[in-house]
Amino acid sequence: MDLTPGRPDFNILRVGHVEFRVTDVERAREFYVERLGFVEQARDGARLYLRGYEERDHHSLVLRRAPSPGVGHIAFRVAAEEDLDHLEHLHRAHGLPVRWVRDEEAAMGRALRAQDPSGLPVEFYCHMARVERLLQRFDLYRGAFVMRLDHFNCQVPEVEPAARWYQKALGFACSEYTESGDDPPRLWAIWLHRKQNVHDLALMTGTGPRVHHAGFWVQDQLSVLRACDILAAAGLAGSIERGPGRHGLSNAFFLYLRDPDHNRIELYTGDYLIADPDWTPIRWSLNDPRRATFWGHAPPASWFEEASLVESMVDGAFVPTRPAGMRDRPDFVT
Amino acid sequence: MDLTPGRPDFNILRVGHVEFRVTDVERAREFYVERLGFVEQARDGARLYLRGYEERDHHSLVLRRAPSPGVGHIAFRVAAEEDLDHLEHLHRAHGLPVRWVRDEEAAMGRALRAQDPSGLPVEFYCHMARVERLLQRFDLYRGAFVMRLDHFNCQVPEVEPAARWYQKALGFACSEYTESGDDPPRLWAIWLHRKQNVHDLALMTGTGPRVHHAGFWVQDQLSVLRACDILAAAGLAGSIERGPGRHGLSNAFFLYLRDPDHNRIELYTGDYLIADPDWTPIRWSLNDPRRATFWGHAPPASWFEEASLVESMVDGAFVPTRPAGMRDRPDFVT
Amino acid sequence: MDLTPGRPDFNILRVGHVEFRVTDVERAREFYVERLGFVEQARDGARLYLRGYEERDHHSLVLRRAPSPGVGHIAFRVAAEEDLDHLEHLHRAHGLPVRWVRDEEAAMGRALRAQDPSGLPVEFYCHMARVERLLQRFDLYRGAFVMRLDHFNCQVPEVEPAARWYQKALGFACSEYTESGDDPPRLWAIWLHRKQNVHDLALMTGTGPRVHHAGFWVQDQLSVLRACDILAAAGLAGSIERGPGRHGLSNAFFLYLRDPDHNRIELYTGDYLIADPDWTPIRWSLNDPRRATFWGHAPPASWFEEASLVESMVDGAFVPTRPAGMRDRPDFVT
Amino acid sequence: MDLTPGRPDFNILRVGHVEFRVTDVERAREFYVERLGFVEQARDGARLYLRGYEERDHHSLVLRRAPSPGVGHIAFRVAAEEDLDHLEHLHRAHGLPVRWVRDEEAAMGRALRAQDPSGLPVEFYCHMARVERLLQRFDLYRGAFVMRLDHFNCQVPEVEPAARWYQKALGFACSEYTESGDDPPRLWAIWLHRKQNVHDLALMTGTGPRVHHAGFWVQDQLSVLRACDILAAAGLAGSIERGPGRHGLSNAFFLYLRDPDHNRIELYTGDYLIADPDWTPIRWSLNDPRRATFWGHAPPASWFEEASLVESMVDGAFVPTRPAGMRDRPDFVT
């Protein structure tokens, strides 16, 4: 398997933001702002703009009022405005739908919305208004001390072609990957990064295209435990789906939460630095129990079965899903 | 329900030590000493004597080579030698078997071994040799940084009479308790203390008499997480049975482990101080999911079903068990 | 030196509460409630009543508006109402002034205010209204997560007679003590406890009678670091006087803060359990640099020189101070 | 001040390793390996090769036996072998001495040793043997859980030209910087990075060229506190020079230690991600007390005055130092 990245003529920097559909903005606000401590930056008609304490960009999480849950788009920041034009050209050359967006989301310049080969709605943008970073406003810290958006995890029926697009066409590098137990083994999931940690984007075999979760960085393990305590004290223990625990793959300490609309987020901390372009990807077997949770805890079935539908970049309707092209979970699910 | 303690003419101070039967002392040593970081104080023929970094007494955990797992005895320290005589008298007056022990366990003075009304083998002693406390020998800390023995938890078929013995006859005070959902409610489990935290002894409805676990105090939540990491790294992830998590009852952060012989210990931290004799016990319902794990995680069935057989104080054979006199678990077990 | 406690005919349970004089209640409230996260329980005319998340009593810290800083009284809880009568008798028998107080402080029954032999204003009480414990209301936790009042530390010119009173007359036990480098060595400071940790009351050589600080228990080391971050972020870095660090004596992790009126509190965690009445007190030398801060950091001179004047139990005026009867600090002060 | 980086035709990836001169390798080993928990990877005649648990390269710290303390060289890793040739050309073009090294240090390919314009001995290399990463060998973790080398900090008499070299010629980007209180303000120190956190190299005004310290990443704040505890318990409290505390500049939680030869290292954690090339550098004033330690603690004079002499790349003799071209410390040093 060739895991080396391509060298495109544009520069995707990092994960940027995600837009979640929520049916009740106030209820979602209570979960994200009051309990988890996301910074509430702004709101307009149907949208609430949130971010972490470390972030200098206007927002990394948009909650948009909608009749049903789901994901509007995931977004990556690029280094320069002209990178967006290169990306438009690339997508058109591959027959992938694109659309320019302006003044739809607050605080942003122009953005290119594209549908990736798996059907995921991906936005690229360079400009977002800067706001005051609150990293050292410890007097304002609340909840889980959410620092920044870290990554997206998406389910697609076929990981291999999806991964090839991000690696070869978009220049993502592979940090770790999971192979099935088939003979020969098949690529079951892959962790891809542009910034220098384990991932900006993970692709996982499953019914798709769907966004499985958005991962947010918290500053330490105790922040993860505190999130559990706070949610349970507030009567929201039901939002805890999996964890806390340590991932084998990525080494991160994690917690998976379902917001009141069942959109899923991960609180995530303690993976590692990858500053070397010649990093050798780490291989895991799907059925290695330490892969999912290093301590051996089995994930619940819901974690494999449930994920967020995504909006079509073209018409805003949900993109139809197809079932996984191979088994969608290890043997040891509870 | 009358939860007030009696006022006996002796003074039981606190939990003292526990003797686990292990089939392979070296394998047990690897688990307790190499991985969890218990201090190895001494060994003689069939016994390994361990303790925590905070303890000044010679040992709090004895691993005794035996053909099968189980518990030899649990032990409480009393304030004065004459307290032992009072305790002998009390047990004899109630027709409970007692036996004086001397020179059987290293570093101890005379000890009174008694069988409590439920059939549990309980030792009382005043004298144990003092050794150097290692609390500030941080250069020696290893593993989970085990500080001290904190409590015992035992399963008995009928909690109410068992609890009455410890409260009225032995002077234990109740910190928290659990009632069944029956009408009228019945006492399902009780947490009893002599030292000033939540418990020295918990009694829980179940097949018994059996020792469910011995709880050891660690200094913080990260020590519990570190124990998971270390055990998993050493190929012992299978020893993790339940947790890490936070108990609703007691508020403690916990982890349940099974040693290589399936004897169970708990790593435990962060309950609270009870310095007031007029403390009002906290009542929980068996089926309140926050009682067991505040975050809502269901305990595994093994946690209710499996526990250690105990030796008869009289002949060393295992005390026969009887099934629980009422349901032995809540509805939400996995 | 005889360090064994007497056996009085009353039972002092533990540290109860302290009353600080503050010149600006709102400014003090910002420090204690907004920044450190003390629970604001009630207020009446001149007083604000605060407590920690673990406490079930109405208050452990009273902020009383006054024209200058200082301490109104320190208070201990006793086990029974009649203990107060015994204490009245004891003080009168020693010619020490006493006064019964009722309805002066909110939520309390009758209280005995007494002047101890060093001139410290000490209150004893049994009844205080119970309020909802917030231990598991993690959604309300703010600031340093202050759990409970832990101890008082007072400066007196002569520690030995002061200590004798608390040990022999009041039944306090010694956990640790400090001797001067004189030949023969003299008692420089002593840590005395009724509840089962290192102290309810420390007595230290210095200009006195003065209250040096009130110590509040926080749940872990990170709570102490977080307090520093929050205070600095809020422009209150000047309130940090000493630490964070680890004490050699007591082993606790600590931070000393000066409130806006320069009354001093300590955030304190991680000492140890003393459940044995035959505990052998630990001896330290005044000039052992690890005694004060285990890591070797020298305390600032202000820590030895500055402390709160105390009100006379008789007329409310400040009790005149006398200089220390021996050196009031080690050699290594900065 | 122009803080934008140049765009050289080579790619320096990150900090690589540092060579400390030590007069007693066994004594140094006790400090680094036994106490702080560095991984001992290999040793040959005069050198001990150490690394952190997260590192896959053979070593990041070399301890070389020498008659006096000091620094042999600091080293950066480049992306490709030909980058080294470009760097040779660059240095020669600027009249800076270079030398090719091979087989001098274990496990390395060819390396280019150069003298930077300030006289610092800087090595560039691409190849170092890979070893097993121990990130998930939690059973082997000891001491401060040192993860990886993070940065170098060097003192030079004139920061501005030194910084210009690293920015414009070598392509380092500025994250934060400090200006003097002069009118107009002068550049007093600068934090420069290639990898995506606050720095790979800091340059600070002072007697120079000298290496002030090498910073090593630890995984959390408690690892820093644990290092203090361990060192003090082992009788090495004297090695603690400054901290623990939080830096205002960089936001990192820190501790400065002096090894038995007085070479200085920093334990460092909790700065932040810089994945955006258009990051706006953060400006600090030299006399802002929150800059050095956010909580207001003043650094000791030794921290500004003492640093390691560096070997000449040409003849191995120490490079002569010149005094700082402007004041070398803020007003608030203790």
Q: What is the pLDDT along chain B (334 residues), one digit of tens a residue?
A: 677 888 999 999 999 999 999 999 999 999 999 999 999 999 998 999 999 999 999 999 999 999 999 999 999 999 999 999 999 999 999 999 999 999 999 999 999 999 999 999 999 999 999 999 999 999 999 999 999 999 999 999 999 999 999 999 999 999 999 999 899 999 999 999 999 999 999 999 999 999 999 999 999 999 999 999 999 999 999 999 999 999 999 999 999 999 999 999 999 999 999 999 999 999 999 999 899 999 999 999 999 999 999 999 889 999 999 999 999 999 988 7
User: How many beta-carbon pairs below 8 A join chains B and D?
Assistant: 31
Q: How far is CA D313 from its chain centroid?
A: 18
State the number of CA atoms in the 13 A half-sphere of D107 facing the CB. Answer: 21
Answer whether residue A181 is part of any domain: yes
- Note whether C240 contacts D294, CB cutoff 8 Å: no
Beta strands D121-125; D111-115: pairing state: antiparallel
How far away is chain C from the Cα of D207, in angstroms, using its nearest Cα? 27
H-helix or E-strand spanning residue D215: strand D210-218
- Give Cα D300 to chain centroid, integer Å: 20
Contact (CB<8Å) C138/A226: yes
The whole-angstrom distance between B251's CA and the closest CA on chain A is 10
Residue in C closest to A142 by C-alpha? C142
Residue B132 in domain: no
| CATH code, domain with D246 | 3.10.180.10
Residue A322: inside a domain: no
Task: Going residue by residue through chain A, which has 334 residues, state the pLDDT in tens, using 9 for 90 and above.
Answer: 677 888 999 999 999 999 999 999 999 999 999 999 999 999 998 999 999 999 999 999 999 999 999 999 999 999 999 999 999 999 999 999 999 999 999 999 999 999 999 999 999 999 999 999 999 999 999 999 999 999 999 999 999 999 999 999 999 999 999 999 899 999 999 999 999 999 999 999 999 999 999 999 999 999 999 999 999 999 999 999 999 999 999 999 999 999 999 999 999 999 999 999 999 999 999 999 899 999 999 999 999 999 999 999 889 999 999 999 999 999 988 7
Hunting for tokens 């009042």 — which residue is that? C149
Residue B248 confidence (pLDDT): 98
Distance CA A239, CA C43 (A): 37
- Reading phi first (left if > 0) and then psi (alpha if -120 to 50, else beta), residue A76 is in beta
**Domain end among A125, A154, A173:** A125
How far apart, in Å, are the Cα atoms of C72 and each of A218, B109, C312? 43, 50, 8
- Looking up tokens 């079509």 gives A312
Assess whether D283 and D188 both reside in one domain: yes
Do both D146 and D243 map to the same domain? yes
In percent, how much of chain C has pLDDT > 70?
100
For residue A228, the chain B residues in CB contact (below 8 A) are 245-246, 294-295
Domain co-membership, B189 together with B281: yes
- My answer on whether B209 and B146 are in the same domain is yes
Q: What is the pLDDT of residue B1?
A: 65
Asked if C144 and C196 count as a contact pair (C-beta separation under 8 A), the reply is: no
Q: Which residues contact A85 (CB under 8 A, 6 or more apart)?
A: none
> For residue C334, what pLDDT is reported?
79
Rounded to a whole number of angstroms, the distance from the CA of C263 to the nearest CA of chain A is: 22
> How far is it, in rounded angstroms, from Cα A205 to Cα A218?
27
Please enumerate in sequence order all residues whose Cβ is within 8 A of that of A316, keeping only pairs 6 or more positions apart, or say none. Answer: none
Residue B2 falls within a domain, yes or no?
no
Q: What 3 state SS string does chain A have?
A: CCCCCCCCCCCEEEEEEEEEEECCHHHHHHHHHHHCCCEEEEEECCEEEEECCCCCECCCEEEEECCCCEEEEEEEEECCHHHHHHHHHHHHHCCCCEEEECCCCCCECCEEEEECCCCCEEEEECCECECCCCCCCHHHCCCCCEEEEEEEEEEECCHHHHHHHHHHHCCCEEEEEEECCCCCCCEEEEEEECCCCCCCEEEEECCECEEEEEEEEECCHHHHHHHHHHHHHCCCHHHEEEEEEECCCCCCEEEEEECCCCCEEEEEECCCCCCCCCCCCEEEECCCHHHHCCCCCCCCHHHHHCCEEEECCCCCCECCCECCCCCCCCCCCC
Residues B188 and B95 in one domain: no
Considering the domain architecture, whether residues A166 and A112 belong to the same structural domain is answered as no
- In terms of residue numbers, what domain contains C17? 12-125
Please tell me the distance from the alpha carbon of residue C309 to that of residue C322, in angstroms, as a whole number.
11
Q: Are residues C121 and C250 in the same domain?
A: no
C147 in the same domain as C106: no
Tens digit of each residue's pLDDT (9 = 90 or more) over B268-301: 999 999 999 999 999 999 999 899 999 999 999 9
Query: Residues of chain C whose C-beta is under 8 A from some C-beta in A?
Result: 35, 136-141, 220, 222, 226, 229-230, 232-234
Tens-digit pLDDT profile for residues D97-134: 999 999 999 999 999 999 999 999 999 999 999 999 99
Tokens at residue A50, please? 């949130």
CA distance B65 to chain A (A): 29
Q: Which two structure tokens, joined as six digits, stand for D107? A: 């496990």
Structure tokens at A156: 């697609």
- Is residue C1 predicted with pLDDT exceeding 70? no
Q: How many distinct structural domains can be found in chain B?
A: 2
Identify whether residues D169 and D294 lie together within a single domain: yes
What are the b/e assignments for A242-277, b being 16+ CB within 10 Å? bbbbbbbbbbbbbbbbbbbbebbbbbbbbbbbbbbe
Is residue C2's pLDDT more than 80? Answer: no
Establish if C159 belongs to a structural domain.
Answer: yes
Residue C142 CA to residue A143 CA, distance in Å, equals 9
Which two tokens mark B47?
A: 């016994």
- Sorted by sequence, the CB contacts under 8 Å of residue D7 that are 6+ apart come out as D171
Which residues of C are less than 8 Å from A222 in CB distance? Answer: 220, 222
* Residue indicated by tokens 């910190």: B175
Most C CBs within 10 Å: which of D220, D295, D333, as the mutation test of the C interface? D295
Q: Is residue C151 part of a domain?
A: yes
Q: Which residues in B81-186 belong to E strands, given as ranges?
A: 98-101, 111-115, 121-125, 146-156, 173-179
Could you give the 3-state DSSP secondary structure of residue C145? coil
What's the confidence (pLDDT) of residue C4?
83
* Beta-carbon count within 10 A of C235 CB: 10
Same domain? A298 vs A153: yes
Option in A221, A232, A289 nearest B296 (CB):
A232
Interface residues on A facing D, Cβ-Cβ cutoff 8 A: 13-14, 54, 77, 79, 130, 135-136, 147-148, 194-197, 219-221, 248, 251, 270, 272-273, 275-278, 280, 294
If asked whether residues C283 and C153 sit together in one domain, one would say yes
Cα B12 to Cα A159: distance, rounded to the nearest angstrom: 64
DSSP B252-315: -EEEEEE-TT--EEEEEE-------TTPPPEEEETT-HHHH-TT-PPPPHHHHH--EEBB-TTT
Q: Which chains touch C (3 or more CB pairs under 8 A)?
A: A, B, D
Query: Using CA atoms, how far apart are residues D193 and D175, in angstroms rounded to an integer?
Result: 7
pLDDT, one tens digit per residue, over C165-218 is: 999 999 999 999 999 989 999 999 999 999 999 999 999 999 999 999 999 999
- Interchain contact, A229 vs C138, CB within 8 Å: yes
Q: How far apart are CA C62 and CA C22, in angstroms?
A: 10
* Cis preceding linkage at D97, omega within 30: no
CB pairs under 8 A between A and C: 31
Choosing from D90, D125, D160, the residue where a domain stops is: D125
* Chain D environment of C290 (Cβ under 8 Å): 232, 237
Contact state of C225 with D229 under an 8 Å Cβ cutoff: no
In a domain, B268, yes or no: yes
Residues linked to residue D17 through DSSP beta bridges, in sequence order:
D75
Strand runs (DSSP E) across chain C, as ranges?
12-22, 39-44, 47-51, 61-65, 70-78, 98-101, 111-115, 121-125, 146-156, 173-179, 187-193, 201-205, 210-218, 240-246, 253-258, 264-269, 282-285, 308-309
Torsion of CA D219, D224, D229, D233, to 10 degrees: 80
Residue with tokens 């068990």: B321
Pair of tokens at residue C239: 């309130």
Buried b (16+ CB within 10 A) or exposed e, B5-28: beebebebbbbbbbbbbbeebeeb
Per CB distance under 8 Å, which residues of B are interface residues toward C? 13-14, 54, 77, 79, 130, 135-136, 147-148, 194-197, 219-221, 248, 251, 270, 272-273, 275-278, 280, 294
By 3-state DSSP, what share of chain D in percent is helix, strand and coil, each rounded to 5? 20, 35, 45
Low-confidence ranges of chain D (pLDDT < 50): none
Q: Tell me the H-state helices in D19-80.
A: 25-29
B partners (3+ CB pairs within 8 A) are A, C, D
Whether residue C332 lies inside any domain: the answer is: no
Q: Indicate whether B150 and B113 sit together in one domain.
A: no
Enumerate chain A positions whose Cβ falls within 8 A of a Cβ in B.
Answer: 221-222, 225, 228-229, 231-232, 237-238, 240, 244-246, 253, 289-290, 294-297, 334
B138/D222 touch (CB, cutoff 8 Å), yes or no: no
Of B221, B251, B275, the CB nearest to C13: B275
